[in-house]
Amino acid sequence: MMRGRMALSSLRRMPCARWYSKNTKLTNAEVSARQSHLFENEKQRQLSLVTRIEKIRVKLLDKNNSCTLIMNKGLSTPYNVAMHLNKLYRDRSALALVNGEVWDMLRPLTEDCEVELLHFKCDKPQEVNKAYWRSCSHMLGAIIASAFKDDFFVDLVRAPDVPVTAGCFCYDVDLHMDDWSPTLQELMCLSQDAFKMQEKELPFERLAVDTNLALEIFQDNRFKKKQITESGKSTTTLYRCGDFVDVSDGPMVTSTRFATNFSITAVHNIKSSHSEHGKLQRFQGVALPSDFRRIHHTVLTPIENRAKIPVYTDSDGPWIEEKEDTQLQKETSV
């Protein structure tokens, strides 16, 4: 493991030109800090608009603990509902249904409603699994944004919409490099950063902002600005985990605590006309929900090996100029 950390550190100290986006000379860390600062300012501004606390009736739908709670409109969340029950509900609930709509555990409730708390072993875990996959992609983006420190400016592109059946979650970036094939030790070092995030139990915070503010937050990233502009929406949904802010419709799980056995398995080049080098890098990884953390290595190893296979999606569109192996693509989508 020490050799891996040395290898990654040597990459950070390479005597090469530093790459920056056109509109900034900030480092990766400074960009993340500025984005988080703007996110926090808007979060506090929106909270300040709640000048009068109104009460709402929240009916919990649960076969063992159905009840009706009086909560605070615009402030109380499904997580607060779980806290009113017991530690088991608080710790295992990863997502909620609010009047039938999939809802973040930390998203405030806005009206009288019925709430159902979801977990990974509930009768219908499909929505929880999708939110978990999405959250792991967000964690992967956070790791990449901080991994290269100041030697390279990393342009984050997007977390592609990869189905759970693909066997891995992904994040696309532009490293501005001609070529980089990370060693196994370097991938292990990156995976260690995920372990640190999991230990910190960082919450996934949701915030809907005016699109003009979203463009200001991502003024240093041409890919995000393009994504925001092309959406055509007047508001943009952002998520923050630690200092890392990203665009996503969500929902996501409660916190990084749910992501165990997190492994960054591969980095593949994908062809793109949007990069100076004609390609982007697709980071791939896999992780298991905390409810399934105790798994034998003979089961985990095949899961990690499958997550190394290059994955392409139907929504890649202009981002991918050509797909290398049609048969491989079919295998990964089964």
- Say whether both 298 and 210 belong to one domain: yes
Q: How many domains does the chain have?
A: 2
- 179: domain CATH number? 3.30.980.10
In this prediction, residues 187-216 reach a mean pLDDT of 95
Distance in angstroms (rounded) separating the CA atoms of residues 235 and 282: 28
Distance in angstroms (rounded) separating the CA atoms of residues 158 and 223: 8
Classify residue 49: in a domain, yes or no: no
Supply the mean pLDDT for the chain.
Answer: 84
Looking at 100, 125, 150, the residue that finishes a domain is 125
Exposure string (b/e) for 247-262, b if CB count within 10 Å is 16 or more? bbebbbbbbbbbbbbb
Percent of the chain with pLDDT over 90: 63
- Give the dihedral sign, CA 123/126/132/135: negative
- So what's the pLDDT on residue 288? 92
- Say whether both 156 and 296 belong to one domain: yes
Write the pLDDT tens digit of every residue in 123-151. Answer: 889 999 999 999 999 999 999 998 886 76
- Say whether both 188 and 145 belong to one domain: yes
Write the pLDDT tens digit of every residue in 282-329. Answer: 999 999 998 776 777 777 889 899 999 998 765 544 444 444 444 344
Distance in angstroms (rounded) separating the CA atoms of residues 102 and 68: 20
- Say whether both 118 and 133 belong to one domain: no
- Say whether both 70 and 29 belong to one domain: no
Reported confidence tier of residue 210, pLDDT bands at 50, 70, 90: very high
- Say whether both 101 and 37 belong to one domain: no
- Say whether both 94 and 186 belong to one domain: no
- Say whether both 287 and 154 belong to one domain: yes
Looking at 106, 125, 144, the residue that finishes a domain is 125
Classify residue 207: in a domain, yes or no: yes
- Say whether both 271 and 318 belong to one domain: yes
- So what's the pLDDT on residue 2? 36
- So what's the pLDDT on residue 24? 47
- So what's the pLDDT on residue 273? 66
Nearest to 99 by CA among 88, 107, 90: 107
Task: Name the 3-class secondary structure at 154.
Answer: coil
Q: Do residues 271 and 320 touch, judged by C-beta distance below 8 A? A: yes
Classify residue 50: in a domain, yes or no: no
Strands laid side by side in the 279-289 sheet: 155-158, 169-174, 279-289, 259-271
Distance in angstroms (rounded) separating the CA atoms of residues 132 and 254: 9
- Domain hosting residue 100, numbered range: 55-125
Looking at 84, 103, 125, the residue that finishes a domain is 125
- Say whether both 63 and 147 belong to one domain: no
Ramachandran angles phi, psi of 231, nearest 5°? -65, -30
- 83: domain CATH number? 3.10.20.30
Classify residue 48: in a domain, yes or no: no
**Which residues lie below 8 Å from residue 307, measured CB to CB, with a gap of 6+?**
167, 168, 263, 265, 266, 284, 285, 286
Classify residue 47: in a domain, yes or no: no
- Say whether both 35 and 170 belong to one domain: yes
Write the pLDDT tens digit of every residue in 79-138. Answer: 999 999 999 999 999 999 999 999 999 999 999 999 999 999 998 899 999 999 999 999
What is the DSSP secondary structure assignment for residue 52, as one 8-state letter?
Answer: S
In this prediction, residues 204-208 reach a mean pLDDT of 97
- Say whether both 308 and 183 belong to one domain: yes
- So what's the pLDDT on residue 275? 65
